[in-house]
Amino acid sequence: MEHNLSVGLDIGTTKIVAMIGRKNEYGKLEILGIGKSKSLGVHRGVVNNITQTIQSIQQAVQEAEAAADIKIEDVTVGIAGQHIRSLQHSDYITRPNSETVIDEDDIDRLINQVHKLVMLPGEEIIHVLPQEYKVDGQAEIKEPIGMYGGRLEANFHVVVGQVSSIRNIGRCVQSAGLNLEGITLEPLASANAVLSQEEKEAGVALIDIGGGTTDLAIFRDGIIRHTAVIPFGGNVITEDIKEGCSIIEKQAELLKIKFGSAWPGENKDNEIVSIPGLRGREPKEITLKNLSKIIHARVVEIIEQVYVEIKNYGHEEQKKKLIAGIVLTGGGSQLKHLKQLVEYITGMDTRIGYPNEHLAGDSDDDITSPLFATAVGLVLDGLKRQERKKIEAQTEQVIEENQPEEINEEPKKERRSFLDKLTDRVKDFLDNAE
């Protein structure tokens, strides 16, 4: 596979998307091919049928390969699912010599200390995100490198997940004949695709409403502050319509997409949809008012749970206020009048997030749909990872070419994110498990 190409694989509850992209000469993302298949083996973001998931992945990948006429080998995969939770944690280290400046190694030591936290059985830390540092009691330091101090402490946002679920995803990718290049947290990928830097600075909550789960990522001052995965999404709305109107799932899904609205006041009492009966039975008549009442009840429940998480982060405190409000993305964000309902429940400014922040100008309208936000984010993540590897390779070359006596100080290596280490661990596990 060419070097400047990247493939994002979004393994969702309703669909699996494979997206091939590369940077054009203006540094924007150009999508070369996209493939999607119905996801059959995933429930609420967690794989529960390996064989079906492998087939769905292969189908999506083949479609993308055919569209772009490129063979796919390496993919960047997103993880979400109901097993993901997050917590806040503070930790500190005491430095042996306070007369030297704080460097990368000190921060690594501090982050590694967080990894010693005791988790529930089967859980592992996926992400450790430093929020702000304190040096010798001086608070609110964004970047402690280069400062003097004896005690370095930090507040961390720690994301935790079930390691078996992550390994299962790795297993599916590998069995589909692909190489796992990187693992990323899906709320982070979606955020990269739809949020602007200004919004992340001002404070924003990204709500990604998928089929099986709703992901939340909160940014403030350019840093991720809070993440959560709520185990409900568009599918429970479909399920409610199916039960409430006694129709089959396919019809319920179509009703939701074509006529669904999150705001019951919109429909008149006499607006009726007729649905063909099964095998010669009488057709069913459903009023749009009833339909939107069913949808409204469930959507309110999902949004209220998300709002509880936004409050847990501390949105109501003055200095943690999210000035840019809420951005909705994912397939579920296309529901009519959802934006108005979210504004009504939370009292926060809301917009629908389209993943066109980094896309080339001539991209297809289909690709800029909120449905593909996560996939676009994963492609971006893969490209970033490749650039990092390139820089590391160049750095090593420089070290080899220069004789040791000429080098006074080593070029600075970028700190590897914990997700890179997690990817390596999952790969090792899969290689040795055969």
Examine the domain organization and report whether 8 and 66 are in the same domain: yes
Asked if 356 and 50 count as a contact pair (C-beta separation under 8 A), the reply is no
* pLDDT of 410: 47
The answer to whether residue 148 is domain-embedded is no
Tell me which residue of 346, 76, 338, 305 sits closest to 204, measured CA to CA.
346
Could you tell me if 284 and 374 lie in one domain?
no
- Residue 194 CB neighbours (<10 A): 28
pLDDT number for residue 365:
82
In a domain, 408, yes or no: yes
Is the domain of 384 the same as that of 433? yes
Residue written as tokens 């579920």? 332
Q: Do 246 and 278 belong together in one domain?
A: yes
**Structure tokens that stand for 218 in this block:** 């909160």
Would residue 127 count as lying in a domain? no
427 and 377 within one domain: yes
Which region, left, alpha or beta, applies to residue 21 given φ > 0 means left and ψ of -120 to 50 means alpha? beta
Q: Which of 332, 354, 376 is where one domain is finished?
A: 354
Domain termination residue (choose one: 354, 376, 405): 354
- Residue 401, pLDDT score: 77
Please indicate, yes or no, if residue 175 is contained in any of the structural domains. Answer: yes
DSSP symbol at 314: T
What's residue 411's pLDDT? 47
- What pLDDT is attached to residue 407? 46
Is residue 247 located within the same domain as residue 337?
yes
Among the three residues 338, 354, 370, which one is the final residue of a domain in this structure? 354
Reference 186, options 163, 207, 164, 203; nearest CA is 207
Residues of the chain under the 70 pLDDT cut: 1-3, 403-416, 434
Same domain membership, residue 290 and residue 270: yes
Amino acid at 205: A
Q: Is residue 106 part of a domain?
A: no
pLDDT for res 362: 79
Classify residue 91: in a domain, yes or no: no
Do 286 and 318 belong to one domain? yes
Task: Find the domain containing 406 and state its range.
Answer: 1-82+161-194+357-434
Q: Are residues 18 and 43 in the same domain?
A: yes
Give the number of other CB atoms < 10 A from CB of residue 277: 11
Q: Specify the CATH number for the domain of residue 75.
A: 3.30.420.40
Q: CA 408 → CA 117, 171, 405, 411, distances in Å?
A: 37, 45, 8, 10
75-103: buried (b, 16+ CB within 10 Å) or exposed (e) per residue? Answer: bbbbbbbbbbebeeeebebebeeeeeebe
- Please check whether residues 347 and 214 belong to one and the same domain: yes
Q: Give the total number of structural domains in the chain.
A: 2
- Verify that 279 and 267 share a domain, yes or no: yes
- pLDDT tens figures, 121-177: 999 888 888 999 999 999 889 899 999 999 999 999 999 999 899 999 999 999 999
Q: Does residue 55 belong to any structural domain of this protein?
A: yes
In a shared domain, residues 274 and 387: no
- Please indicate, yes or no, if residue 126 is contained in any of the structural domains: no
